[in-house]
Structure 1
Amino acid sequence: MSTRPLAWVLNLDAENELEAGPGYTPARHIQRIVARERKHLFGTLVAPGDVVVEAGSTGGEESARARGLPGLAWSPTPRARALLARAGAIPVAGPTLETLRTVNGRPFALEVRATLREDGFDKHLARNLEQALALLAQPAREGWLVRRTFGAAGRGRRRIASGRPSSTELAWLVKGLRKGALIIEPWVTITQEFTRSGWVARDGHVSSAAPCFQATTREGAWRRTECAERGAITRAEDARLEGAFFAAGRALAGAGYFGPFGIDSFRHRCGGPGSAELLNPLGEINPRFTMDWVAGMSADQGRKAIRAWWDPSGRYDSGGAVRA
Structure 2
Amino acid sequence: MLNLDAEHELELGRRYTPSRELRARVRAIGTALARSLEHGDVVIAPDEDVSVDVASFVPRAWCPTPRALEVLASVGAPIDDAPSFETLRTVNERGFAATLAGDELPGCLRATELGAIEAHVARPGPSGAWLLKRAFGVAGRGQRPLRPGAISDADRAWIVASLRRGALYVEPRVEIIRELSVHAWATCGVHVRSIREQHVQDRAWLGSELARDLPSAIENPLIDTTERVGRALIEAGYHGPFGVDAYLWRASSGAIAVRTLGEINARYCMGWDARDGWDPP
Partner of 2:165: 179
Query: Closer, same or farther in 2 for the Cα pair 1:49/1:170, shift >3 Å?
Result: same
* Distance in 2 separating the partners of 1:121 and 1:242: 21
* Distance in 1 separating the partners of 2:22 and 2:140: 12
Q: Structure 1 length normalisation: TM-score?
A: 0.81
2:240–2:280 CA contact under 8 A, matched in 1: no
Give the partner amino acid of 1:160. L
What is the Cα deviation at residue 48 of structure 1? Answer: 3.2
Partner of 2:263: 284
Partner of 2:207: 224
Q: What are the ranges of 5 or more consecutive residues in structure 1 without an aligned counterpart?
A: 1-8, 309-324
Corresponding residue SS for 1:212 = strand
2:131–2:172 CA contact under 8 A, matched in 1: yes
Q: Structure 2 length normalisation: TM-score?
A: 0.92
Corresponding residue SS for 2:264 = strand
* Distance in 1 separating the partners of 2:80 and 2:42: 15
The counterpart of 1:134, out of the listed 106, 119, 124, is 119
Partner of 1:38: 30
Partner of 1:103: 91
Partner of 1:50: 41
2:181–2:245 CA contact under 8 A, matched in 1: yes
Does residue 226 of structure 2 align to residue 245 of structure 1? yes
Corresponding residue SS for 2:11 = helix
The counterpart of 1:257, out of the listed 238, 253, 257, is 238
The alignment yields a C-alpha RMSD, in angstroms, of 1.9
What is the Cα deviation at residue 67 of structure 1? Answer: 4.9
Query: Closer, same or farther in 2 for the Cα pair 1:144/1:64, shift >3 Å?
Result: same
Does residue 199 of structure 2 align to residue 215 of structure 1? yes
Partner of 1:302: 277
What is the Cα deviation at residue 307 of structure 1? Answer: 5.4
What is the Cα deviation at residue 152 of structure 1? Answer: 0.9
Q: How many residues align?
A: 280
1:195–1:214 CA contact under 8 A, matched in 2: yes
Partner of 1:83: 71
* Distance in 1 separating the partners of 2:224 and 2:280: 26
Partner of 1:11: 3
Corresponding residue SS for 2:238 = coil
What is the Cα deviation at residue 139 of structure 1? Answer: 1.8
Answer with 83-92 or 251-260: which moved more: 83-92
* Distance in 2 separating the partners of 1:63 and 1:81: 19
